[in-house]
Amino acid sequence: MYYENHYYYLAFSHFQKIGPIAMKKLERSFPDMRQAFFAGATELERAELRPLVAAEFINWRKTPAAAIENMIGVLERENISFITWKDTDYPALLKEISSPPFVLYYKGVLGGPKNRLAVVGSRKNSAYGEKIVSDLLPAVIRHNINIISGLALGIDALAHQTALNNGGVTWAIMGSGLDDKNIYPHANRRLARQILENGGALISEFPPGTPPYKQNFPQRNRIIAGLAQATLVIEAKIKSGALITAHYALDSNREILAVPGNIFSEFSDGPNKLIQAGAKTIKNSEDILEVYGLTDSDNDDNWKKSKKLTKRYAAEQPCFSPDNPEEARIYRLLRDASERAEKIDVDEIAKETKLDTSVINSTLSILELRGIAKNSESGYDLN
């Protein structure tokens, strides 16, 4: 069973110098991948492989690393499956891009919702970015749209976690092998397990044992964009992986969506630039749903109930009346930051108010005791 055509695609994927373009040439030149695998240098060169690549491949296939039985053994031990672009259940959207991976490795389930949204952004997100994810994505997820991202710290992880928290399906596209040792970043290994436990998938074109090399990540970004009908960019520098993903989406004739941001923040440069170039401006979840021909769930009883509870809670909040001018100034800064979905620290308050640090700290402590303000690692905001 190990010598079926299917497994020779697996073998070729372990030789990283033969990619999708070279594989198409081999398919045109040989009746099946077994013959291609055992072809001589002249035949491989006739198939338009470069002589150096052909020679390196012939030397590589003599090594233990080229043994198909060993490859299959690793997949079984690591509970990893694989699929080729010849298989009927290979994702149709991904097959449409210019260079789809000829083998996809995955853990979990590749089925699920047909509508997919890629969500990408900064690894160092602000409170504003966090609020965008928590406000915009739940309605999208309720409409059975699969969230695709890259398991990175920051916006990626927030998008995956929001999907899980709202009962949705999410796929994480990796820049490394899917063996436990190489799941990256290590800080998100628990999140990776949760994705699998909740019906999602971890996906990679890199065979097990591939470390998370830096050069792998721009390459995997084409898969993130290729699997989804639209890519949403939330907080990104001009030179960032998120913008690379957006450009892949553009090349594949997919929708590019961007959330505008503070013009003074370098993390808004990416989405603001995309909007200038014609990306769809996203200000609420309805803007995203419109891309899929959907509208918000106003007829959903649970959603209506949730909105009523939110309104009632807001109506029950007491009006705050500052006790002194210092308290009023600090409260005003907290309120303004909260409206921007940001947090503010003591140094920023001191810079804006010119108040003594001891006055600021004591005032913040009083506001915390009164339940008006709250403190976290990244600063203060309103309760």
* pLDDT tens digit sequence for 248-292: 999 999 999 999 988 888 889 999 999 999 999 999 999 999 999
pLDDT, greater one: 380 or 85: 85
Distance CA 201, CA 109 (A): 5
Q: How far apart are CA 373 and CA 267, in angstroms?
A: 26
| Predicted pLDDT at 319 | 57
Spatial distance between the Cα atoms of 156 and 122, rounded to a whole number of angstroms:
8
What kind and span of H or E run contains 28?
helix 20-29
Q: How confident is the model at residue 3, as a pLDDT? A: 46
Between CA 41 and CA 58 the distance in angstroms is 7
- For residue 296, the model assigns a pLDDT of 74
Q: What percent of the chain has pLDDT over 90?
A: 69
The reply to whether 318-382 shares the fold of 107-301 is: no
* pLDDT of 297: 57
CATH of 107-301, one of 2.160.10.10, 3.40.1050.10, 3.30.565.10, 3.40.50.450: 3.40.50.450
CA distance 57 to 63: 10
May I ask the CATH architecture of the domain 318-382?
Answer: Orthogonal Bundle (1.10)
Question: Worst-scoring range by mean pLDDT, 12-26, 112-126, 359-373?
Answer: 359-373
Judge contact between 149 and 123, C-beta under 8 A: no
Burial string for 3-39 (b: 16+ CB within 10 Å, else e) reads: eeebbbbbbbbbbeebbeebbebbbebbeebeebbeb
How far is 71 from 164, CA to CA, in rounded Å? 32
- Could you tell me the strand order of the sheet in which 146-149 lies? 81-84, 103-108, 201-204, 170-173, 146-149, 116-121, 230-234, 255-258, 280-281
CA distances to 126, 339, 346, 368 from 353, in Å? 23, 19, 10, 19
Determine how β-strand 379-382 pairs with β-strand 373-376: antiparallel
pLDDT of residue 320: 65
pLDDT at 375 over 90: no
Name the token pair of 80. Answer: 């990893």
Beta bridge partners of 280: 257
Which token pair is 197? 């436990």
User: Average pLDDT over the chain, rounded to whole?
Assistant: 89
Domain boundaries, the chain: 5-78, 107-301, 318-382
Give burial (CB, 10 Å; 0-12/13-18/19+) of 250. Answer: middle
Dihedral sign for Cα atoms in the order 103, 82, 249, 295: positive
Termini Cα distance of the chain = 62
Q: How confident is the model at residue 179 (pLDDT cuts 50, 70, 90)?
A: very high
Does 181 score more than 80 pLDDT? Answer: yes
Of 54-58, 80-84, 219-223, 352-356, the least confident: 352-356
CA 204 to chain centre: 13
- pLDDT tens readout for residues 63-116: 999 999 999 999 999 999 999 999 999 999 999 999 999 999 999 999 888 999
CA distance readout (Å), 189 to 223, 241, 364? 21, 21, 37
Q: Is 60 exceeded by the pLDDT of residue 243?
A: yes
Q: How far apart are CA 365 and CA 368, in angstroms?
A: 5
Where residue 125 falls among pLDDT bands split at 50, 70, 90? confident
What is the spatial distance between Cα 237 and Cα 122, in angstroms, rounded to a whole number?
7
What pTM does this model have? Answer: 0.78
**pLDDT, tens digit, 9 for 90 and up, residues 28-71:** 999 999 999 999 999 999 999 999 999 999 999 999 999 999 99
Please, what is the Cα angle at 110 between 106 and 112, to 5 degrees? 155
